[in-house]
Amino acid sequence: MINTQPYDSLFATAQQALLTPHSLDGNNIQQVFASMLAHRLDYADLYFQYSRAESWSLEEGIVKSGSFNIDQGVGVRAVSGEKTAFAYSDDISLDALQSAANATRAIARLGGEQVVPVIRHGSRRDIYLPQDPIASLKDAEKVALLEKLEGYARALDTRVVQVMAGLAGEYEVVMVARSDGLMNADIRPLVRLSVQVIIESNGRREQGSAGGGGRFDYAYFDEAMLRKYAALAVHQAVTNLEAAPAPAGNMTVVLGNGWPGILLHEAIGHGLEGDFNRKGSSAFAGRVGERVASAGVTVVDDGTLPMRRGSLQMDDEGNPTQCTTLIENGILKGYLQDSLNARLMKVPVTGNARRESYAHLPMPRMTNTYMLNGEIDPAEIIASVKHGLYAVNFGGGQVDITSGKFVFSTAEAYMIEDGKITHPVKGATLIGNGPDVLTRISMIGNDMALDSGVGTCGKEGQSVPVGVGQPTVRIDGLTVGGTA
């Protein structure tokens, strides 16, 4: 358990950042809801946000770019049946709130005036500290941190010809007020450090990258962490420098633990979000209770993991996040839900409503999505493969939600021959169908790991931080596109 300030104190901090400077209080919020609920709505909410964000970029020992941004505003949403009206303003004032509220009443049904409930505060858990990472280091110390990271990378291999390092931090204060009377608040820190190296030998260049982060301050990036990121990036670049072209064909693929869970996130996770399933556009629509994966496959989405990049104290509708089992021992158990889709599908909310900012509508999104451990030693999984591909790291990928088809490119991969990892290969792509791949998992390792804290998920133009993870898994009969 993380020791932190009492919730009353945190809520007061949020009020002082979001309401007090604009002469707003609970009475004003009730006024706005009274205006909105003068006509019949199923649901309405106000989403206040204040954020400060910075980023630093170092290249060739020189600060190439730096940015600092302050943003604030409020989004006003009204929901009636399947219809949603939304307005937002970067002016947090009673006039702006009333104007936005009036704009959302266009979808209201005819009917008598609804009662405005008494405001009540939500609860808080201790998933991360309400700290300001931007203030945790002086600017000169942030640059020095990047310079040190570059130095470690260059010292590892004389063939390193270029190093690019980046540091980013965000301090975000949010408050949600709902038409059912709930008011909840959160203070969300977020940091990320990344490094990319380019190695050159005999006229050939290859690159490698690494990094990490989460919901804490810059103190997380100590000497050991900097050395770790530098070593991982250089190792990946050297591996690709020595790699042979990847063969193509249908073969057994072993996915490493940790970040390869991004394939799970993209090829399967999006298809388990409530909006796609309510509309029937997901390959998993209407399949709750059916077997959709091999025995032993259990997939969860957990927004409560301490200090993880994808974790939240509350979702962007003020509901507490939770650990939701999506697939249990191969059986589909349910979907990720926000309030609108949960109400229309007549199922419980799962605390997965997320939005990029006050200027965006919330929708059901993943937080930290991962596969649980199996019982097999990873070495035994490798030893079981006569001829196949061992994919340790991934780059980009694409997926079609309706069909479940995906294409992913590997960033680090090796051949497996006669049960042993042999030489590295480059240019390998994995091609398949998400629901089909779940049924082709034949072995699950006991080494589940989460990614290092670098994931960002895009959906309908909105980006949010997420986490992924899995143990080592064996997939039989997957199509591999290669360059050999």
- The beta-carbon contacts of 99-103 under 8 Å, at least 24 apart in sequence, are 100/74, 100/75, 100/76, 101/32, 101/35, 101/36, 101/76, 102/35, 103/76
Tell me what the mean pLDDT of segment 19-38 comes to: 91
Instruction: Please tell me the distance from the alpha carbon of residue 455 to that of residue 450, in angstroms, as a whole number.
Output: 11
Using CA atoms, how far residue 329 sits from 299, 371, 381, in Å, is 9, 11, 19
> What's the token pair of residue 450?
């989460």
pLDDT digit string (tens) for 404-419? Answer: 899 999 999 999 999 9
Evaluate if residue 393 carries a pLDDT over 90: yes
pLDDT digit string (tens) for 285-306? Answer: 999 999 999 999 999 999 999 9
Evaluate if residue 317 carries a pLDDT over 80: yes
Evaluate if residue 384 carries a pLDDT over 60: yes
pLDDT digit string (tens) for 161-183? Answer: 999 999 999 999 999 999 999 99
pLDDT digit string (tens) for 339-367? Answer: 999 999 999 999 999 999 999 999 999 99
Evaluate if residue 3 carries a pLDDT over 50: no
Share of the chain above pLDDT 90, in %: 83
Strands 387-399 and 405-417: what pairing?
antiparallel
- The beta-strand segments (E) located in 274-375 are 299-302, 323-328, 331-332, 353-354, 363-364, 368-371
> What's the token pair of residue 192?
């990320």
Strands 368-371 and 323-328: what pairing?
unpaired
Evaluate if residue 153 carries a pLDDT over 90: yes
Instruction: Please tell me the distance from the alpha carbon of residue 135 to that of residue 138, in angstroms, as a whole number.
Output: 7
The answer for residues whose C-beta is within 8 angstroms of residue 142's C-beta and 6 or more apart is 56, 167, 218
pLDDT digit string (tens) for 427-467? Answer: 999 999 999 999 999 999 999 999 999 999 999 999 999 99
Helix axes 94-104, 26-36, angle to 10 degrees: 20
pLDDT digit string (tens) for 213-257? Answer: 999 999 999 999 999 999 999 999 999 999 999 999 999 999 999
For 213-240, give one letter per residue: b (16+ CB within 10 A) or e. Answer: bbbbbbebbeeeebbebbebbbbbbbbb
DSSP state of 269: I
The residue type at 322: Q
| Main-chain dihedrals φ then ψ at residue 182, nearest 5 degrees | -75, 135
| Main-chain dihedrals φ then ψ at residue 324, nearest 5 degrees | -110, 120
pLDDT recorded at residue 484:
63
The mean predicted confidence, pLDDT, of the chain is 93
> What's the token pair of residue 168?
């980013």
pLDDT recorded at residue 10:
86
- The beta-strand segments (E) located in 217-316 are 244-245, 249-255, 299-302
pLDDT digit string (tens) for 179-200? Answer: 999 999 999 999 999 999 999 9
The residue type at 169: G
Evaluate if residue 112 carries a pLDDT over 60: no
Compute the Cα dihedral for 313, 317, 320, 324 and give only its sign.
negative
Q: State the CB neighbour count (10 A cutoff) for residue 212.
A: 19
Evaluate if residue 7 carries a pLDDT over 70: no
Alpha-helical runs (H) found in 373-450: 378-383, 434-439
pLDDT recorded at residue 2:
45
Share of the chain above pLDDT 70, in %: 95
pLDDT digit string (tens) for 65-82? Answer: 899 999 999 999 999 989
At 115, the pLDDT band (50, 70, 90 cuts) reads low
Report pTM. Answer: 0.94
Instruction: Please tell me the distance from the alpha carbon of residue 368 to that of residue 366, in angstroms, as a whole number.
Output: 6
Instruction: Please tell me the distance from the alpha carbon of residue 12 to that of residue 14, in angstroms, as a whole number.
Output: 5
DSSP state of 33: H
Helix axes 223-241, 139-156, angle to 10 degrees: 40
